[in-house]
Amino acid sequence: MRGSRARVVAIFTVILALTALSTASTMQAFRDTPARPATAAALAAQQRQAAESPEARTERTEKAMEAAKANTGALYAFLREMPKGGDLHNHDVGAVYAETMIKFASHDHLCVDRTTMALTEPPCKQGQVDAATSNTDPALYRDMINAWSMRDWNKAKGSGHDHFFDTFPKFGLANQGHMGAVFAELANRAASENVQYLELMTTADNAESIGFASKFQWNDNFSVMRQQMLDGGLQKIVDDAKKNLADWDAQKDQILDCNDANVEKRQPGCQVTIRHIYPVLRAFDKTQVFAQLLLAFELAKQDPMDVAVNMVQPEDWLVPMRDFHLHMRMVNFLHEQYPEVHITLHAGELAPGIVPPEGLRFHIRESVEIGHAERIGHGVDIMYEDHPHELLAEMAKRNILVEICLTSNAYILGIKGKAHPLAMYLKAGVPVALATDDEGVSRSDMTQEYERAVLDQGLDYTTLKKMARNSIEHAFLPGESLWSDARRFVPVHECATDHPRNATISAPCKTFLKGSKKAQQEWLLEKKFADFELKF
């Protein structure tokens, strides 16, 4: 374990790396006989809601949110309770709060440098102390949190972009051996905010594919290089990654008591469905990037727990900017070999001044047109792309969702308010969904993303509800959608006469739902919305 940890932290130091399904709980949403209302008043409320149109329920809840806006705390309380669907853009280790990382580091007696706050393996050298010292040294504890997150950061202290990405190599060693606990924390937090589904970016192979690439010489013929790597032992890394995901998920379930026969002992996170996306580190040598991509496509093909491929790390760094077109060509080639594998790509996480003007012109377009991205992460520089309105129209036509990370964009890029392109995406009809990105480093959560959407972007409840629905509609889950028209959220004919709060569900709808994990999650979200809106 220590050897593996050392290899991983070396990778973090060099590149400043980024950062269950519970069938019973999901199916509960459409069982034949839900519990009876506890009181006559509750029964009357249910009957009243059944008689109301969905538009009337939404309008009534809209008024409740407008009233809550009079007080920041009241708005947060309203939004925390609001169903939010899924978080589709979440870097797992960046989502864990620094306080938890300190617990991990203290447990493993890692060494922390008092000047840089970076962790290393013991024994501790001069200027370093055991991380457990933070348990009795409040100043050290404070400084570690500030160095490992955006807490207490402001523009006077320097670049938010640099401070954000500099956090990862400092705490990167802490999470090794604790990934089950990482998943458990994220699941419980999601449940507490009425988030039912997570797609976590997880380096399932512990970056083993990067070292594997050193065995091979670059070859401009992608087909030849792919076959060499497949013949050269890539399957073992795929198998290791699959085992890691299974082990970490089992650890998460154990921590949360998800398998306890006493349902009441199961923690709320057991109700959250988690799937994973492999995040390819794009700042590496081109052979290493290709090896990671090939591992990512093979893993997504072989393991249903891993649902897609992504490319991560700052686009403004030297290698990602220089090799962006080459990377898209790699993704295009592998898409042809694995057409069933889903693709989402970080693209357009840029702003004027971070790169030269010409560096803002092409990342989103190439990700869509060459990289076959079904979703775009961030997409902040869309209006600086060549022919932006045509690109927006193309994304709307192709139904490509943009994962909107408002807090992250504000900290890293300084983009917020009218400078943010969210309004342009909405105007163009491009589907969007809110996401947290790295909520631990940002000291945020999904509720705060919704709060920013209301206060900073001026969104109303109807738009927030649509974004929550989009998050499940565009999740990489198998099966048909609940919606025959996902733009207007018109249900399929099998479920056209059914409602999630009905005492019984028609046989055609029940059959349809059982055949689709995506529709199950969408049905569950509709039940949550019905329950939430009934309160108003």
pLDDT tens digits, 335-385: 999 999 999 999 999 999 999 999 999 999 999 999 999 999 999 999 999
Alpha-carbon distance of 228 to 422, in angstroms, equals 43
Alpha-carbon distance of 259 to 36, in angstroms, equals 27
Predicted TM-score (pTM) above 0.95: no
* Cα–Cα distances in angstroms (integers) from residue 235 to residues 190, 297, 370, 382, 514, in the given order: 33, 12, 27, 38, 33
The tokens of 399 are what? 């139904």
CB atoms within 10 A of CB 283: 21
Under the banding of pLDDT at 50, 70 and 90, the label for residue 14 is very low
* Domain edge (last residue) among 171, 199, 229: 171
Beta strands per DSSP E along 385-443: 401-404, 432-434
Is 385 among the domain residues? Answer: no
* Domain edge (last residue) among 122, 152, 171: 171
Alpha-carbon distance of 468 to 404, in angstroms, equals 12
- For residue 123, cis peptide bond before it (omega within 30 degrees of 0): yes
Whether residue 34 contacts residue 42, with contact meaning beta carbons closer than 8 Å, is answered with no
DSSP class of 413 = H
Q: Are residues 55 and 115 in the same domain?
A: no
Q: Are residues 104 and 148 in the same domain?
A: yes
Place of tokens 């590149």: 15
Q: Which residues of 126-154 are buried (b: 16+ CB within 10 A; e: fewer)?
A: eebebbbbbeeeeebbebbbbbbbbeebe
Is 389 among the domain residues? Answer: no
Nearest to 272 by CA among 185, 179, 201: 185
Residue 37 in this model has a pLDDT that exceeds 70 = no
Is 185 among the domain residues? Answer: no
Is 486 among the domain residues? Answer: yes
Range of the domain at 152: 95-171
* Domain edge (last residue) among 127, 143, 171: 171
Among the residues of 97-178, which ranges form H helices?
Answer: 98-107, 138-147, 160-171
Is 56 among the domain residues? Answer: yes
Is 99 among the domain residues? Answer: yes
The tokens of 170 are what? 């400092």
Q: Which residue has the higher pLDDT, 71 or 4?
A: 71
Supply the pLDDT for residue 39: 63
Is 405 among the domain residues? Answer: no
Under the banding of pLDDT at 50, 70 and 90, the label for residue 6 is very low
Q: Are residues 128 and 161 in the same domain?
A: yes
Is 201 among the domain residues? Answer: no
The tokens of 74 are what? 């009241």
Judged by average pLDDT, the poorest of 130-134, 151-155, 322-326, 467-471 is 151-155
Q: Based on the structure, what is the number of domains in the chain?
A: 2
The tokens of 149 are what? 């997150």
Q: Are residues 102 and 164 in the same domain?
A: yes
Alpha-carbon distance of 379 to 390, in angstroms, equals 15
Q: Are residues 55 and 122 in the same domain?
A: no
